[in-house]
Amino acid sequence: MRRRAGPGRRRLRSVALPALLLCAAGLGGCGGGQSIVAPRSHQTSLIALLWWWMLGASVVVFAGAVVLLAIAWFRRRTPGLPLFGRREEVAGGMVIGFGIVIPLVVLVALFAASDLYVIRFSEAPAASSTSLTVDVIGHQWWWEVRYPGTEAVTANEVHIPVDTRVNVVATTADVIHSLWVPRLARKIDMIPGRENRILFDTPDAGTYVGQCSEFCGLQHAHMRMTVVAEAPSAFHAWLTNMARPARAPATAEQREGELLFMGRGCAGCHQLRGTEARGKIGPDLTHLATRKTLAALTIPNTPAELSAWIRDPQAIKPGNHMPDLGLSGAEVAKIASFLEALH
């Protein structure tokens, strides 16, 4: 899926490769779908590079301290230092050197690199520098996604065009959440009364997993999302479809499903644009069938899983705000059939 490496990534590879190998060999597990050391943007590449440098320096300091303690053990019967013997001023000098001088130099360098330089790429992007805006709104426990200037509304699946500076506006509808797509951007908290912004900008088409990273209640664990980066033409086709109203049911079963949807309570919470269903509490379902997963990545979006979800949402995601409506098996099947046609 990867098309080309950004300038930051090429630089990163040369430095990070040995460290990555070390990591993979020694510890396993690095580089999963939410790993900050598998960056796919200039911003996250710089942060990963910063991390590898900090790790390298930390290993040196840590090893140095352990070596000193090891020497202490081998020389446990001999007072004083190797070479310098029992000269107190040398012992004092070690404390000044290791405790003040060296840390000061290293910290100033780190401060300049991270908090003066790299931070320029992780702070909120200048509004004029972006060419697309996406609103992501946190809810307990799902993500509402809007594209200002269009009618498009969806949930838990953000689409962006590659090679485009995307202004992501992060807000919340209830408690504090935090939007974190580790491979694309730093995280940003979603705080009532605030409008925070971060930048999504990746050269690589692909699907990137994100997850809420501020504890937000019972189903914090199942508040996940994907960001789909795709070619601009594919993105625009997707957005055009998203902006359309819901398709009318095509079969008798689907029509019955729509009636049940409107009549049995679903419409109270969910919106199907272009119909009477105007609920604002749950996710917009106008194009539900286009999504890959349900309940914020909790289950895949298949007819069977969707039916199971409608029948007993509390069994799958305990504590979530969707009630058990007491529908019969036949009713559930009809509603699912209706929803699975909403492309």
Residues 123-182 that bind another protein (CB under 8 A): 123-124, 140, 174-176, 178, 180, 182
Query: Where in 240-269 is the site for another protein (CB under 8 A)?
Result: none
Residue with smaller CB distance to another protein, 67 or 231: 67
Is 92 near another protein (CB under 8 A)?
Answer: yes
- Rounded to an integer, what distance in angstroms lies between the CA atom of residue 195 and that of residue 318? 30
Residue with smaller CB distance to another protein, 167 or 337: 167
Min separation Cβ 2 and another protein, Å:
19
Q: Give just the sign of the alpha carbon dihedral 314, 317, 319, 321.
A: negative
Residues composing the chain: 343
Q: Which of 17, 21, 22, 94 touches another protein by CB under 8 A?
A: 94
Q: Where do we find the tokens 């909403």?
A: 342
Q: Which of 5, 11, 35, 247 touches another protein by CB under 8 A?
A: 35
CA distances from 240 to 244, 248, 284 (A): 7, 17, 16
Which residues are within 8 A (CB) of 244 and not within 5 positions of it... i.e. 6 or more apart? 151, 273, 286, 287
Query: Where in 280-299 is the site for another protein (CB under 8 A)?
Result: 297
Is 80 near another protein (CB under 8 A)?
Answer: yes
Task: Give residue 253's identity as a one-letter amino acid code.
Answer: E
Q: Which residues is 198 bridged to in the sheet?
A: 168
How many of the chain's residues bind another protein (CB under 8 A)? 93
Min separation Cβ 304 and another protein, Å:
18
Residue with smaller CB distance to another protein, 220 or 264: 220
Longest dimension (CA), the chain: 95
Which residues are within 8 A (CB) of 112 and not within 5 positions of it... i.e. 6 or more apart? none
Among 4-12, 218-226, 254-262, 280-288, the segment contacting another protein (CB under 8 A): 218-226
Is 33 near another protein (CB under 8 A)?
Answer: yes
